[in-house]
Amino acid sequence: MEVAELTRELVSIPSHADETAAGDYIEAWLRRETDADVVRDEVGNVIARRSGDVGAGAGAGAGVGSRTDSSPGAETTPAGRSLALVGHHDVVEPADAQLDDGEYVLEERDGRLYGRGAADMKGAVAAALLAFRDATIGSNEGEENGDGDGDGAAELVFASFVGEEVGGVGARRAIDRGFGPDYAIVGEGSTGYSGPGVTDVAVAHKGRRGSTITARGTAAHASEVGAGENAIYRATDAVDRVRDLEPPSVEVAGETLEGSLAVTEIEGGSAMNVVPDRCELTVDERTVPGERAALERVEDLAGVEWTVDQDLPPMRCDDEAFATAVLEAADDAQSGSPELITKPHATDAGWLAEAGTECVICGAAEPSEAHTEDESVSLEVLERCRETYRTVAASWLG
């Protein structure tokens, strides 16, 4: 099975501290296996493009669907219908059991490949590479697909980003430089949500906003508490305010996607006998498309400031026809009955959706599989993903 062999090759390449070698492999594979226009940008993203009226492996390099950016080296291309198969080739740091003398340990048993990055998400990258090579796409004259406005050649894009695990560094850089496909399938995990072993299609996921609440007061000796202003007391008032906020929720795909708020850290005080003049809280907020908790209300309290440290955007697909097309392809590729579902985790799909790309998520990883000591992926499901991606590319861009 070609997808299994390619996954083994990718997973064997360490990429938790430096993605260069994995990016080298992907770039070389694309140049060897396809005639696509392949670009490796300055941060290490690998992006390849094929245009319409070509079969497997042929490509014309016109960047249909990319936004205009006047900066040097940016993508500047005409408008047209484009579909991207998106993944990332960085991984989180492996556990000791996943390393042997600095090399990644690979093991295959019971139809699964075990190793750091197998599920998150080099397996899906392998499936996307093969689908990108093998899909036949047309000129997109708009007779049968989507909104039917076909105003130019269809384009199929492959993109593997760096830095997804550290806040979407690669995706954000690519978007800033003009990367903007009309549609994208992001190969993060969507298997096992509606039922065991079923590969579903996620049409929404939560985001994450991490923030700091800083309470300031006036220091004093603890024997004279009235001489100071206790920053910890002000911080606890802020905690009460956070607890009173109602996390937002939205209805997507027939289910409620609920956000959440939690104070997760507190730091303050300098000595047992000193009224503290500073106290900091960290807040973990899971956001939903179109809604945010009103955390700014803590700044109504005296001596309290609120700052956002990280804001990973949520995602929601608003193109029903596209979501349905991917669902039908996933259904055809498996014996189970996939559904449109939502995910609790932020992905690069959030950055793409925020920039205007209609995204869905379809991939082999299962809930609670990524980042684990025994991370693994089903080789059968990878083949299913490969066929799903290939079918969507052919039907959506036919």
Under CATH, what is the fold of the domain 207-312? Alpha-Beta Plaits (3.30.70)
> Is residue 12 classed exposed, middle or buried when 0-12, 13-18 and 19+ CB atoms within 10 A define those classes?
middle
CATH architecture of residue range(s) 2-205+314-396: 3-Layer(aba) Sandwich (3.40)
Q: How far is CA 331 from CA 328, 387, 391, in A?
A: 5, 11, 11
pLDDT given for residue 316 in this prediction = 97
Domain with CATH 3.40.630.10 in the chain: 2-205+314-396
Q: Considering only CA atoms, which of 312, 86, 90 is closest in space to residue 186?
A: 86
Binned at pLDDT 50, 70 and 90, residue 60 comes out as very low
Domain with CATH 3.30.70.360 in the chain: 207-312
Asked whether the CA dihedral 4, 5, 11, 12 is positive or negative, the reply is positive
pLDDT given for residue 54 in this prediction = 40
Please tell me the pTM assigned to this model: 0.88
Bridge partner list, 40: 46
Binned at pLDDT 50, 70 and 90, residue 153 comes out as confident
Least confident of 19-33, 40-54, 61-75: 61-75
CB 316 within 8 A of CB 253: no
Question: Which helix (H) or strand (E) is 390 found in, with range?
Answer: helix 379-396
> Is residue 60 classed exposed, middle or buried when 0-12, 13-18 and 19+ CB atoms within 10 A define those classes?
middle
pLDDT given for residue 80 in this prediction = 55
Q: At a CB cut-off of 8 Å and minimum separation 6, what does 72 contact?
A: none
Indicate whether 195 pLDDT > 90: yes
Question: Which helix (H) or strand (E) is 242 found in, with range?
Answer: helix 231-244
CB count within 10 Å of CB 40 equals 16
Indicate whether 62 pLDDT > 50: no
Q: How far apart are CA 16 and CA 93, in angstroms?
A: 5
pLDDT > 70: percent of the chain = 89
Q: Considering only CA atoms, which of 175, 152, 149, 171 is closest in space to residue 162?
A: 171
Secondary structure of residue 258 in the 3-state scheme: strand
Cite the DSSP H helix spans in 103-196. 123-134, 169-176
End-to-end CA distance of the chain, in Å? Answer: 26
CB count within 10 Å of CB 25 equals 18
pLDDT given for residue 1 in this prediction = 76
